[in-house]
Amino acid sequence: MDHHVDERDLWLRCFVPAPDSPTRLICFPHAGGSASAYHTLSVALAPTAEVFAVQYPGRQDRRNEPCIDNVPELLDRLVPLLSTPGDERPLALFGHSMGATLAYEVARRLQELGGAAEPVIVFLSGRRAPHFERGETVHLRDDQGILRELELLGGSVGAALRDPEILQMVMPAIRGDYRAAETYVHVPGPPLRSPVVALTGDRDPRASVGEVEGWRRYTEGPFSQHVFEGGHFYLNDQAEAVQETVRRHLSALPVPGVGA
């Protein structure tokens, strides 16, 4: 069997097949997150887009695999899986928090490779632009220190992680993801050509509206920003508004082969 096909199924989860949709949307979860974070978005966006949510190693059904704790290796493993033979539909990318860093870097690599895989739009959520990086070291804290960070950010993680067994099971993935996000170094290069849409909560303690707006300088395509009420995980509380925003942008994309 084609090793690539196996790998693709391992890394890219499609909860709602929509093969007739005009666009494929690849979604990258936050640190400690898993593909299931994008289940509701997958349902909401069909048939506008077929959503593929990335499942990083070290969690859920991949929990017996070692985590990948650096961005370059994640890119090396992921990028080759995104061009699917026989599926020439345009690619859109969406990433939240650490996932936004990955979506941006994947977009850069695909642009460098050129051709059909170059993304047509990139959604970056809950992540400050690279020139605002602050050299954080959450990944060096003990488990309780990492828990305090997760509680600061809100989201649904806090309560479940007070169970020591659950904590022990998921902490390696959370720590590994934080290490990947916090040791990431932005290497200057050409800006993206695709439109960039920045999304942010108005009370995110780790990504202010202005810091997220900073992504403007990383594209020569159109840039827009949408600010939602909420903290770091605003996209859970404002799910419908976020879905509508993404749908609107995807629906406005030019259809390949039609018009100029």
Residue where the block lists tokens 């959520």? 125
For the four alpha carbons of 178, 173, 5 and 48, in that order, the dihedral sign comes to negative
Enumerate the β-bridge partners of residue 196.
122, 223
Residue 55 burial class via C-beta count within 10 angstroms: exposed 0-12, middle 13-18, buried 19 and up: buried
Annotation marks residue 232 as catalytic: yes
Q: Which one is catalytic: 97, 194, 226, 249?
A: 97
Q: Which one is catalytic: 30, 96, 139, 232?
A: 232
Check: CB of residue 30 under 8 Å from CB of residue 56: no
Cα 171 to the chain's mean position, in Å?
20
Among left, alpha and beta (phi > 0; psi -120 to 50; other), residue 95 is beta
State in Å, rounded, how far the first CA of the chain is from the last one: 41
Comparing CA positions, the residue from 81, 32, 78, 11 lying closest to residue 181 is 32
Based on its alpha-carbon atoms, the radius of gyration of the chain, rounded to whole angstroms, reads 17
Cα 147 to the chain's mean position, in Å?
22
Check: CB of residue 93 under 8 Å from CB of residue 106: yes
Give catalytic residue positions.
Answer: 97, 232
